[in-house]
Amino acid sequence: MTEQDFIPKSYNSTLENGSVKWASPSNIALVKYWGKKKDQIPENPSISFTLSDCKTITEITFTKKESADFSFDIYFEGEKNEAFKPKIQTFFERIEIYMPFLKDYHFKIETSNTFPHSSGIASSASGMSAIALCLMSIEQSLSLVTERSRSDMEESQSYFNQKASFLARLGSGSACRSIEGELVVWGKNESIEASSDLYGVKFEGEVHSNFKNYQDTILLVDKGEKQVSSTVGHQLMYGHPFAKERFSQAHDNLAKLKTILASGDLNEFVKIVESEALTLHAMMMTSIPYFILMKPNTLEIINKIWAYRQKTDSKVCFTLDAGANVHVLYPENEKESILEFIKNELVSYCQNGHYICDQIGLGANQI
Ligand code: DP6
């Protein structure tokens, strides 16, 4: 597939109005995307667990209008929101060529998250993927005229998912990994044949039962605004002294993870996942300008997890996004003991004692 394959020629049906609604989950990267080229092309491949409960629910109501410019309103959790508008405007501009109906309608975008607002959890992955899916449903109703695209749209769920992921990527890179579950790869990598820089693909390799219902408890260490936006963050990799090594390491880690997912070797899983998290932060600490996004409590939690692993034979591990919050990952059979450990030893490091329990999920669904 190339970008051209996502450009429809024309639509064969007209719609005056309508509405569509999708729930789309967040995801947590095991091998991290950090650094991008023009047009949201990643510098290295990444793989993530799709989450189950942390979702954005978005309804788009569309009404036919004179084609002139983009026209939309956004409501976040019931209230009109102006702050999100520039990001959506940019998104529409980027995807217009692939969604030529965008200027023909006024869109009312109503969105809400299942996780608390200002929890410090990035909602761009779930938010952008939910919008992309809504737009795909609208496009599907307009049914394409071109032979190739029409048969693809009607017959192939995989084209729908691919284009939804392709569009979501243009909104926010990591959003392209939120369409499907349970594991999604984004970025061309030799060990994963179907992988692409243009969209995320469901990981079709063997997955050991150790990873079934894998748990992710998100410890909210800092609920404030992100200190470094992802746009600024990715730019830090331009001219970064370790960029080349890092990008090739991500390729190696993804190939290794593929083997680990098949074998179920959780000791090796822990090593890759924690190393990836610390490498991401190491990149931020060694860029110009440099940042430390971990907080003292992030380190306290990491040390507690390491101590717990030493004194038990637990396979619990952590990963981090570009912030201070800690994702605690563990197999389902350790659920009880780890929740006990979290309550007894980690909650005191969370802001207002807040944490969110989630697990690996199956992807977005239409409502
Ligand atoms: C650290 O997807 O938020 O979470 O493409 O600029 O929207 P944009 O970036 P974004 O970057 C996420 C980076 C990360 C790692 C990851 O999810 O792979």
Which tens digits make up the pLDDT trace of 214-256? Answer: 999 999 999 877 778 888 999 999 999 999 999 999 999 999 9
Q: Letter for the amino acid at 28?
A: I
Nearest to 325 by CA among 185, 182, 52, 120: 120
Percent of the chain at pLDDT > 70 equals: 95
Q: Assign 151 a pLDDT band (cuts: 50, 70, 90).
A: low
> Residues with beta carbon inside 6 Å of ligand 1?
29, 32-34, 40, 46, 122, 124, 172-174, 230-231, 234, 280, 321-322
Peptide bond into 43 cis (omega under 30): no
Q: Is a pLDDT exceeding 70 seen at residue 122?
A: no
**Across 32-57, average pLDDT:** 97
Tell me which of 230, 235, 293 to substitute to probe ligand 1's pocket, judged by most ligand atoms within 8 Å of the beta carbon: 230
**Across 346-354, average pLDDT:** 96
Ligand 1 atom at shortest distance from the alpha carbon of 172: 7
Whole-number Å distance, alpha carbon 144 to ligand 1 midpoint, is 32
Of all protein residues, whose CA lies closest to atom 12 belonging to ligand 1?
174
Decide if 195 is inside a domain.
no
Decide if 203 is inside a domain.
no
pLDDT in the model for residue 227? 79
Whole-number Å distance, alpha carbon 342 to ligand 1 midpoint, is 27
Same domain (yes/no): 160, 220: no
Whole-number Å distance, alpha carbon 253 to ligand 1 midpoint, is 18
Same domain (yes/no): 166, 216: no
The predicted model scores a pTM of 0.95
pLDDT in the model for residue 156? 80
pLDDT in the model for residue 230? 84
pLDDT in the model for residue 118? 64
Q: Is a pLDDT exceeding 70 seen at residue 144?
A: no
Same domain (yes/no): 231, 336: yes
**Structural contact between residues 56 and 126, judged by C-beta atoms closer than 8 angstroms:** yes
Ligand 1 atom at shortest distance from the alpha carbon of 174: 2
Beta strands 71-76 and 79-80, pairing class: antiparallel
Residues 6+ apart with CB under 8 A from 174: 27, 29, 33, 46, 48, 122, 124, 125, 186
Q: Which two tokens stand for residue 208?
A: 């050991």
Same domain (yes/no): 110, 33: yes
Give helix then strand counts, H and E, for the chain: 9, 14
Count of domains for the chain? 2
Q: Is a pLDDT exceeding 50 seen at residue 134?
A: yes
pLDDT in the model for residue 145? 45
- Residue 342 lies in domain: 212-365
pLDDT in the model for residue 231? 85
pLDDT in the model for residue 153? 52
What is the domain-level CATH number for residue 124? 3.30.230.10
Q: Letter for the amino acid at 140?
A: Q
Of all protein residues, whose CA lies closest to atom 7 belonging to ligand 1?
172
Segment among 133-137, 153-157, 161-165, 314-318 with least mean pLDDT: 153-157
Q: Assign 67 a pLDDT band (cuts: 50, 70, 90).
A: confident
